[in-house]
Each structure stands twice: as structure tokens, then as C-alpha cells.
Amino acid sequence: MTTAQTTSAAARPAVSRPLPHVLSGSRSPSWWAMLLVILNESIIFAALLTSYFYVRLNLPAWPPDGMKRPELVIPLINTALLVSSSFVMQWAQGGIRRGRQGRLRLGMIIALLLAGSFLALQIYEYGRSEFSPQTNVYGSLFFTITGIHGLHVLVMILISSVVLVRALLGHFTAERHLAVENAVLYWHFVDVVWLFILASVYLSPYV
């Protein structure tokens, strides 16, 4: 860089403006990354559910081979657990936005307990099942789709547990809690996917 260029540029006026170090929500790159992960995972479930209906359309009866329709009691309880857990997570996030550590911690603990109960009930449901994934294509699809969703619930629990530990250590403030925001975003995604699974795998055989 020569002196002449330095002076010619320095002669022009400079515009100054302040910029933040901490970006939250849609201004933050990690929020975008989480959104894209959710988009990508939505396609996984779209592919799973499309496979379900594609196979179903090729068969004369659904469930095939005289199998019973799915029982609804456990999945409906599970729906209530997951949907309420989403509201609790949202409430917890609202807490840290106002700088209330206690509300964040309490909300996340309750939500994690609700999600844990969901998994426990799902395992109980699997144990009671009269068919297995090896029975036929219906069994394979049922267990694969609900199982992959169950894995997502497990991942969601793991993510939020780590965030809870950080909350207990006091890592978050009203301005700085991106990890909470992303965990809540993922939580809502897993819950909304469950509603699609409930409608397709459990309710649609009754239509």
C-alpha cells in the first residue's frame, strides 16, 4: 500500500456506526443454522410419511392381514404431554428474556420430565404391541416412523439437558441466551412433527 493511496482515501469522510457483539434470534447465524437443520429434518419425516402412504395405497386393506387398528389411549396421553411441554418451554424462555433464572430452570425441568414421560410411555406401548417390525410392512413402518421420532425426542432431551446444566451454572442472561432459543426452537419442531405422526400413523387408519 503506497502513501498516495492512503492519503487519497483518508481525505474522504468516514462513516461510523455502532455494531453489537451479541446477536440473538434471526440476526444470529446459529439461529439460521438451527432453522436449516429443522428444514432438513422435516424432509426426513416427509419422506417417512410419504413412504407410509405410498405403501398403504398399494395394499387393499390398511392395516393389512387383518391386523387391528392402532390403540389410541397412549398416543393421545403422549400428545398431551408433548404439547404441554412445548408451552412450558416457551414459558421458560420467556423467563430468561426477563432475566429470571428461576423461571428458566423450573420450566426446563418440568418440560424435561414431561418429555421423559413421553419416552417411557412409548417404550411401554412398544412392549404391549401385538406385532413386531418383522411382522410385515405395516409393522416395519409403524416402528420405524415412531422409533425415529422417539430418537428425536431423545436428542431433544439431551440437548435441553445440557442447556439446563448451563442454566443451573448461570450461563444465561436476558441479553445472551442463544442456546436456550435454539433448544426451544428444536423442541417445538419435534412436537409439531409428532402431531403429523399422530394424524398419519395413529388416526388415519380410522378414516
Partner 1 sequence: MATIAVGEKRLSDAWEARSGLISLLGTVDHKLIGIRYIQTAFLFFVLAGLEALFMRTQLAVPENTLLGPETYNQFFTMHGTTMIFFFATPMLFGFGNYLIPLMVGARDMAFPRLNALSYWVFLFSGLFMYSSLLFGAAPDGGWFAYTPLTGAEYSPGLNLDFWALGLIFLSIATTAGAVNFIVTILKMRAPGMAINRLPLFCWAILVTSFAVLFAIPPLTVANVFLMLQRVFGFHFFQTQAGGTPLLWQHLFWFFGHPDVYIIFLPAVGIVSEVVASFSRRPILGYTLLAVATIATGVIGFGVWVHHMFAVGISPLVLSIFSISSIVIGIPSGIQVFAWLGTMLNGRPVFKTPLLFISGFIILFVLGGLSGVMFPAVPFDQQVTDSYFIVAHFHYVLVGGAVFPIFAGFYYWFPKMSGRLLDEHLGQWNFWLMFIGFNLTFFPMHIAGLMGMPRRVYTYEAGLGWGGLNLLETIGAFTLAAGILFFIANVFYSLGSGEEAGDNPWNASSLEWATSSPPPPYNFRALPVVHGRNPLWELPAADTPGSSLFMENDPTDPYQRETLASTVLSGQPDGILHIPASTLIPLYLGLALTAVFVGILLRQWWLAGVGVLLVFGLIVAWLWPPESEPAWHEGETAVIEERPA
Distance from C-alpha of 53 to C-alpha of 47, rounded to nearest angstrom: 10
Helix/strand/coil for 61: coil
Which range of residues in 79-87, 110-118, 123-131, 141-149 is near partner 1 by CB under 8 A? 141-149
In this chain, which of 104, 111, 138, 153 binds partner 1, going by CB under 8 A?
Answer: 138
| Count of alpha carbons within 13 angstroms of residue 64, beta-carbon side | 15
One-letter amino acid identity for 142? F
Contact 178, 31 (CB under 8 A): yes
- Interatomic CA distance for residues 194 and 146, integer angstroms: 9
Counting contacts by CB under 8 A, is residue 130 touching partner 1? no
Rounded Cα–Cα distance for residues 25 and 130 (Å)? 46
# residues contacting partner 1 (CB under 8 A): 58
Residue 147: all three cell numbers together: 422409533
Contact track, partner 1, 150-169, x by CB under 8 A: --------x---x---x---
Residue from 18, 102, 127, 170 in contact with partner 1 (CB under 8 A): 18
192 belongs to the binding site for partner 1 (CB under 8 A)? no
Residues that bind partner 1 (CB under 8 A): 1-3, 5-6, 8-10, 12-23, 27-29, 32-33, 36-37, 39-41, 43-44, 46-48, 51, 54-55, 58-59, 64-65, 133-134, 136-141, 143-144, 148, 158, 162, 166, 171, 179
